[in-house]
Amino acid sequence: AQTVTQSQPEMSVQEAETVTLSCTYDTSESDYYLFWYKQPPSRQMILVIRQEAYKQQNATENRFSVNFQKAAKSFSLKISDSQLGDAAMYFCAYSQGRGGGADGLTFGKGTHLIIQP
């Protein structure tokens, strides 16, 4: 079974600074997908960024980028120019590629990100 580990229960960063959230995963598959989801206090799960394992290029979405290290099974999220609206729980998630990912996501326990004004 796949596992996803987020070793930082809580992180704090000054507004406008850069922060990196860590995620490691364990799988025997070679084809899979990785995700970062954001959950603000509203409880809504919002996709931040998605990475396909077969793509070597790291995904980026505006101020959000990942450092995907396939051999090390590491998938960290970097948030640049942190904003107050970035304050939330962040979850790393894994989906296997077999079946197009139809059999669901495996989540880490989350990192609570605090933005200091």
Angle at 25 between CA 23 and CA 31, to 5 degrees: 120
Tell me if 95 contacts other proteins by CB under 8 A: yes
Stretch that binds other proteins, among 11-19, 62-70, 71-79, 101-109 (CB under 8 A): 101-109
26 - beta bridge partners?
3
Question: How far, in Å, CA of 48 to CA of 1, rounded?
Answer: 25
Backbone angles phi, psi at 100, to 5 degrees: 70, 20
Tell me if 110 contacts other proteins by CB under 8 A: yes
Binding other proteins (rule: CB under 8 A), the pick from 10, 104, 114, 116 is 104
Give the number of other Cβ atoms within 10 Å of residue 115's Cβ: 20
Binding other proteins (rule: CB under 8 A), the pick from 13, 20, 50, 80 is 50
Q: Parallel, antiparallel, or unpaired: how do β-strands 88-96 and 111-116 relate?
A: antiparallel
Give the residue carrying structure tokens 């059999």. Answer: 103
Tell me if 33 contacts other proteins by CB under 8 A: yes
Tell me if 117 contacts other proteins by CB under 8 A: no
Q: Return the number of the residue (28 or 42) whose C-beta is nearest other proteins.
A: 42
Give contact residues for other proteins (rule: CB under 8 A). Answer: 4, 6, 33, 35, 42-45, 47, 50, 52, 91, 93, 95, 97, 99-110
